[in-house]
Amino acid sequence: MAGAVLGRFGLAWPQEGEKEARTPITGGALGFTRGATGAEVDRAVERANAAFRSWRLTPPPRRGELVRRLGALLRQHQDDLAELVTLEAGKVSGEAQGEVQEMIDMCDLAVGLSRQLYGLTLASERPDHRMTEVWQPLGVCAVITSFNFPVAVWAWNAAVALVCGDPVIWKPSEKTVLTALACQSLVAQAAAGMGAPPALSQVVVGGPEVGEALVDHPGVALVSATGSTAMGRAVGPRVAARFGRCLLELGGNNAAIVAPSADIDLAVRGIVFAAAGTAGQRCTTLRRLIVHQSRYDEVVSRLAGAYQTLRVGNPRNAGVLVGPLIDGRAYEGFARALVEVEADGGEVITGGRRDPALGAAAPEAFYVQPALASMPAQGDLVLRETFAPLLYVLRYGEWDEAMALHNAARHGLSSSIFTNDLREAERFLSPGGSDCGIANVNIGPSGAEIGGAFGGEKETGGGREAGSDAWKAYMRRQTCTVNFGRDLPLAQGVEFL
C-alpha cells in the first residue's frame, strides 16, 4: 500500500537495510526506513552549507520561484500526500487534505514574501549619514518535526527558510517518515526544474539521536524544533550552549471559557471540533473547558450528546470523524489520565473506552471514544498535556476566577472565549486577559490559518511561525550606516583626533 503511494512520487521503497514504519490504522508494518548515521548528518550539513554559499546570493524573487514550483507540485499531489498522512499519522481524510492545503497556502504566502523581506530606514544623528536595517540570509536551518502535523510544520519552516536564503535539513518524526520522503521528492523535482542546488532541501531520518546531532552541529545556524515541552527542554539549552539560534514550538494545554452570554449552539460545535478532532492530537487541542455556573449543566449535557454521535474508526472511511491514537504509548497516557480523574474527585461523563470492535480486529491499533470529564478543581492532572481526546470541564462564578483558571496553565499556546458580551471579549484580548500566543473569540482554540504568526508563550517555547513577521527568525539582522559626507562626525558627539 505505502509502496504504491510512494511510487506516485517517483520513489522506490522500501530499500534494503531499512527500519520498520508502522500505520496507526492497524498498528501493522508499512515497510522499512533506515536511520541516518552521524557521518551522514555531517555530510548533509556540509552539503547544505555549500548550497547556502550560492543560494544566499540568488535574488529573493528567484528563490521564491522554487517555492512557487513546490506549491504547484503540492497541488498536483494533494490527494497522494493526504493519503500518506492518513496512513502514517492516522488523520481522517478531510483533515489530511486540510493539512496539505495548509502547505499550499504556506507556499503562496512565502512566494509573496520573496518580493518583500523589507528592512527599515532609521534617522541618523549624524549629518550626511544614512542608517538602514537590512535582513540577510542566516544559514542552514534544521527542522525537527512532530508526528501529528507530519507535513504542514515542515512547510511552515521550509517555504519561508528557502525564500529567506536558507537551506533546510529536515528531521521528521520517526513515526512519519514516508510523508517526509514524499515531500522531499517534490522539492527535489522543483529544484531540478529550475537548476537550483539539490542540497537546498534534505531529509535525515531517525529518532532523537539524529535530532541531537543536528542540534549540536556548529554548521546549523537555526534549529526549528516542534514537539513536546520535554523535547524543547533538552534542545533549547544545547543550542544556546553553542550560541546557535532556536525556534521552539512545543506543547499546549489550551482552554476555552464559556461565558453566560455564549451562543451555546455555536460553542458546542466549536468545542467538539477543538477537543475531539484529530483524536485530540493537535498542539492546539482544547483540553480545559471553563464554563460559567449558569450554563454549566446545559453545556455539559449538550456536549455529552454531541460526543455520542462522534464516529470513531478507520480514518480512511467516509463519515469517520475520529481516527486512532498514534500508538500504544499514547493510549497508556490516555488510560492513566482517566484513572487519575477519579482519584482527583472528578467524574468521567462520557467516553474514555478503547473501542472493542476495532481493538479486536487490530490489537496493535488504539481507537478510543473521546472523553469528557468534570473536575472539581484544576490540579496537576488538568495542568498536564495528555496528548489524547480528553476534555476536562471546570466551573466558574466570577470573571477573575475564570481568568485565573485559564492562565494557570504552564503552557501558553492557544485560547478562546465564547461570549456575546463585547466587554468580556475585549477583556479576554486585553493585557489582563489571555496570556497565550493565540486568542480567539467565538472560535475554538484549534484550526489556525496561514498568515497569522503561530506559536505560544511559557512552556510552549515562545517561537512564532507561518505568518506575519515570523520570517525574521530565518534571517540575520544587519544595521548599516553609510557616510556620504566629507567629514567624520562620531556618534554621541565624541571628539577624537
Binding residues for ligand NAD, per CB under 6 A? 144-149, 153, 171, 173-174, 207-208, 211-212, 215, 226-228, 231, 234-235, 249-252, 283, 385, 387, 413, 460
Judged by beta carbon, residue 208 or residue 379, the one nearer ligand NAD is: 208
Shortest Å, Cβ 249 to ligand NAD: 3
Residue 461 beta carbon to ligand NAD: minimum distance, rounded to whole angstroms:
7
Asked whether 219 and 249 are in contact (CB, 8 A), the reply is no
Cell of 321: 470523524
The set of residues, in sequence order, having a beta carbon less than 8 Å from that of 434 and lying 6+ positions away, is 406, 407, 415, 417, 428
CB-wise, 241 or 404, nearer to ligand NAD?
241
* Minimum gap (Å) between residue 290 Cβ and ligand NAD: 20
Beta strands (DSSP E) in 424-488 are 438-441, 457-458, 475-483
Catalytic: which of 212, 249, 424, 459?
A: 249
Shortest CB 63 distance to ligand NAD, Å: 25
Q: What beta strand segments (E) does 239-360 contain?
A: 245-249, 254-258, 286-292, 347-350
Counting Cα atoms < 13 Å in the Cβ hemisphere of 222 gives 28
Give yes or no: 246 in active site.
no
Q: How far is the CB of 22 from ligand NAD (least distance, A)?
A: 14
Closest CB to ligand NAD among residues 13, 149: 149
249 is catalytic: yes
In the sheet with 371-374, reading across from the earlier edge strand, the strands are: 347-350, 371-374, 390-396, 286-292, 254-258, 414-418, 438-441
CA–CA separation, 395 vs 236, rounded Å? Answer: 36
Task: Closer to ligand NAD by CB, 228 or 261: give it.
Answer: 228
Our CB check for ligand NAD shows the closer of 215 and 259 to be: 215
In whole angstroms, how close is the CB of 455 to ligand NAD at the nearest point? 6
- The span from the CA of 17 to the CA of 60, in Å, is 40
Q: Among residues 108 and 174, whose Cβ is nearest to ligand NAD?
A: 174
Residue 396 host element (H or E):
strand 390-396
C-alpha angle 182-186-190 in degrees, rounded to nearest 5: 165
Partners of 226 in beta bridges: 249
Residue closer to ligand NAD by CB (options 191, 215) is 215
Nearer to ligand NAD, 85 or 153 (CB): 153
As beta bridge partners, residue 439 has 415
> Could you report how far apart the first and last alpha carbons of the chain are, in Å?
78
- Annotated catalytic residue: which of 183, 246, 283, 436? 283
Q: Which is nearer to ligand NAD, 139 or 211 (CB)?
A: 211
HSE value, Cβ hemisphere, 13 Å, CA-based, for 434: 26
Q: Which amino acid is at 485?
A: G
Smaller CB separation from ligand NAD, 38 or 260 = 38
- From the CB of 193, what's the least distance to ligand NAD, in Å? 29
- The least distance separating ligand NAD from the CB of residue 226, rounded to whole angstroms, comes to 5
Where are the strands (E) in 3-47, listed by range? 19-22, 29-33
3-state secondary structure 207-262: CHHHHHHHHCCCCCCEEEEECCHHHHHHHHHHHHHCCCEEEEECCCCEEEEECCCC
| Cα gap 220→208, rounded to integer Å | 16
User: Longest C-alpha distance within the chain, in Å?
Assistant: 88
How far CA 9 is from CA of 157, 266, 280, 447, in Å, comes to: 22, 41, 30, 28
Q: How far is the CB of 252 from ligand NAD (least distance, A)?
A: 5
Which residues are within 8 A (CB) of 64 and not within 5 positions of it... i.e. 6 or more apart?
A: 110, 111, 112, 113, 114, 115, 163
- Shortest Cβ distance from residue 149 to ligand NAD (Å)? 5
What is the set of active-site residues? 249, 283
